[in-house]
Structure 1
Amino acid sequence: MYTTLIDAATLSQHLEDPKWVILDCRHDLMHPNAGFDSFAIGHIASAQFANVDTDLSGAKIGADGKFLGRHPLPGKAAFIETLRGWGIDDDTQVVAYDAHGGMFAARLWWLLRWVGHAAVAVLDGGLVAWQAEALPLVTHAERRTPGAISERSSLVSTVSADEVLANIDMQGRTVVDARAADRYRGENETIDPVGGHIPGAKNRFFKDNLTAEGRFKNAEQLKAEFAPLFADPSKAIMQCGSGVTACHNLLALEVAGLPGAALYPGSWSEWVGDPTRPVATGPN
């Protein structure tokens, strides 16, 4: 069972394995159709497309009328039905990939763990690593027999905006922001009209988890780089712009052997939806 990362050579040996499901998570935050368009041009054989905006996210407005962020979590029942539609059973090995160093694939990895499915891994290096091995792409779409995955005890934890707000005064947990430094400092109004970060949050850009070749750094290096941010991962909260790239930091922590951090799903986009919540700007 693969639970964090898998390499291209290993994945290539399981393309026709009925117990394996491969999901293409390519996406572009600025161009919502770009992921599927890329999938149609060429994808790994037997892969199906997972849409970050629809399959991996839920309604932006809650039942109480509050804004929940750009990519709120889907309802668990709805997500289970999506997984079944992809042919996933309780004993299925799932592999997620993208072309962005795991930026979006990590969201699917986290969501499956959220509904209790441990057998999910991200293709290390993504489509770039696949093509570097001279492995082929196909254009035909895969259709699978519906699966019967069931919801089990969650393997991950989350925190709400209210909990993050209370933590600003209590400082019992460390908030880590996965956005790029300019967004964290409040200097990128194109992406974040309201710029800055949650007071007290530290910055760990998700791309810092990767080597120059776009693959995850080894466990020892990741562990050393996270060490200055917090001593106990169980007292850490990962967030980003909308709860997507924060999952990349959570995956990196698992690779490093540092499990236990929580996700703030709404992240910055939900946080600034309420103007009464405090905002900080500038560096760490």
Structure 2
Amino acid sequence: MSSSLYFIIPALGGYTLTSLYLLKNPHILHRKRRTAFHCTHISHRGGSGERIESTMEAFSHAVEKGTEMLEMDCHLTRDGHVVVSHDENLLRQTGQDVTISSLSLEEMPLYKERMEVTFFAGHYSTGTDRKFALLEDVFRKFPNMPINIEIKEENTVLIQKNTNMPYSFSISRGMQLLLLFYSGLLPFVPLGESFLQFYLPRIINRTYIPEERILKSRLVISLIEKLTMRKSLLKHLASRGIQVHLFVCNEEQDITAAFKTGATGVMTDYPTLLSNYLSRQRNQESRI
């Protein structure tokens, strides 16, 4: 046993040093991924803190405020239309306990006149537009705007394979990413994803109140934050050309924390807030 340690200890030491070196210098093994766009400012549900979420009015307002990406979710109506909506069940958004898949496009109700911002408890938004948007109309109106679409259901009509389409880490792939990072294997493994999008843990139980009981524990959130918000991990991903988006940051202190942690982009419900923040940062940098 003692003789084998003469081989095991140097091998582990060599592996650890090599892993740490490649973690800081990923270009040695991996060509930097390049996407057609780089987004610092992302509007969650079109900026649901300033207009009714996921409406054409919200998307237009966010674009006017300088957003670089629109985030949205999609569902399929009974008659095959792709509707932009976070929820499949419309109770929260409309007050009617019906599902999108059970309705035709003509039967879709209007949004409530006043809606609570999901990621900013106690805050509400209003707007003149209360109609559910069609995905094709969003594409038509904003042909050059990067759009982050989260498909909420495994529907072969909605999901089409496209090898050229950049994609994000799924939950299972995110777990694999953490395992690779903590085992030291990450620098050696190729990654197909172009984006990592994850909650900024510090917002949980403050601006965002989760329904899941386990997430109400401070200990659990503290553990999640310690495991995921590692500057060395996020910097490594960014160095490999993988954009890191943290969400949903609706206060300036959280925007600052996200960028300090290593985010390349921030998702917000308040596009005006984020635009003003980024403008001030650019002005400060120009004076240096």
TM-score, with structure 1 as normaliser:
0.26
TM-score, with structure 2 as normaliser:
0.26
Kindly name which structure, 1 or 2, has the bigger radius of gyration based on alpha carbons.
2
Between Structure 1 and Structure 2, the one with more helix by share is 2
